[in-house]
Amino acid sequence: MDVQRYGQHVGGEWDAFVRAGKNGTFLLLRDYMDYHADRFRDHSLLVRDAEGRLLAVLPAHEDSAHLVSHGGLTYGGFVTGADMKTPLMLAVFEAVAEYLRDHGFREWVYKTIPHIYHRHPAEEDRYALFLAGAALARRDVLAVVDRRDRVPYQQRRTRAVQKARKQGLTVVEEPALAEFWGVLAENLRQRHDAQPVHTQAEIELLRARFPANIRLFTCRKGESLLGGVLIYESALTAHVQYIASTEEGRACGALDLLFDALLTCTFADKPYFDFGISNEDAGRRLNRGLIDQKEGFGARTVAHDHYTLDLTAWEPGRLARAMS
């Protein structure tokens, strides 16, 4: 088995594999990953069999003696094809662990891809992590609406939606980002003394590259912007990347009306609607108010796990010995 470091000469092959993979999304395409190449030293990997057939790709960057999959992405474990089976994944995982140890890495930080982004079940990597003795380092709480059997809204959310409708608020998809971004930046500054993870210029760039996947929806009263949601849309899931609301919007239920429209109309055909995380401090603190709002729309928890593997204690052949 051959483990190869990513280079631009295999960019087309990488993208084709991710698009066809059972757990690939647009975030794992090179046009998305490489927008912040100046901040992350890419060390993505491709794994091939003896005949050169591509078996898996691993989005990753290096940070001193740590390999992180991938620090600039929400998720980014192994992307695999529909023919990936558990014994093969154990071999792939072992080959990558050997490669990392041989190249001087001391720790592997691994972000799983949540199952709501899998077109076919793709958790063979979790079993490999278990056998390898990886430690659970972080667990995020995703608030997810499963459209196959929706949990009804809380009465409080229903009343807020009705209140917003009576005030004549409207929900539209927006072509321009600047006005919403100003509200978002102010929200984060006031509440958390923070800034958006992306700059406006970065989001504009990514939106130009992926116009069908990155979409902005707003709620207005006349010409006044009351709130907005930036959605990352993949094959199975609409993910809330950014939320912002003005003080007037919070008073009149603008986001309630907006989420109702997205859930019942815009993304009614998506199996999952992901409100995103509701925790802080690497998963160790739960934001009660935030999770209450999301669960009020019928969202329930999907865990997103991050692991660390100590490569200094790696035992060659460990996963192979686990197979009878």
| pLDDT tens figures, 241-294 | 999 999 999 999 999 999 999 999 999 999 999 999 998 888 899 999 999 999
Q: Where are the beta strands (DSSP E) in 6-161?
A: 41-42, 45-48, 54-58, 61-63, 66-69, 79-80, 107-111, 135-146
**pLDDT reported for residue 323:** 86
Locate 168 and state its tokens.
């004549």
The per-residue pLDDT for 115 is 97
* Nearest CA-CA partner of 265 in 164, 170, 139: 170
pTM over 0.75: yes
- The CA angle 53-59-60, to the nearest 5 degrees, is 125
pLDDT per residue as tens digits for the range 132-171: 999 999 999 999 999 988 999 999 999 999 999 999 999 9
Q: What is the rounded CA–CA span in Å between residue 314 and residue 324?
A: 20
The pLDDT value given to residue 196 = 86
- Class of residue 100 by CB neighbours under 10 A (exposed 0-12, middle 13-18, buried 19+): buried
Q: Are 223 and 206 in contact (CB under 8 A)?
A: no
pLDDT for the residue 165 = 93
Task: Classify residue 189 as exposed, middle or buried by CB count within 10 Å of its CB (0-12, 13-18, 19+).
Answer: exposed
User: Residue 44's pLDDT is what?
Assistant: 97
Any idea which residue has 């229903």 for tokens?
Answer: 158
Cα-based angle 88, 93, 98 (whole degrees, multiple of 5): 125
Q: How far apart are CA 294 and CA 33, in angstroms?
A: 29
Which pLDDT score, from 0 to 100, does residue 195 have? 83
Positions of the chain with pLDDT lower than 50, given as ranges? none
pLDDT of residue 72: 87
Candidates 256, 182, 251, 185; CA nearest to 219 is 256
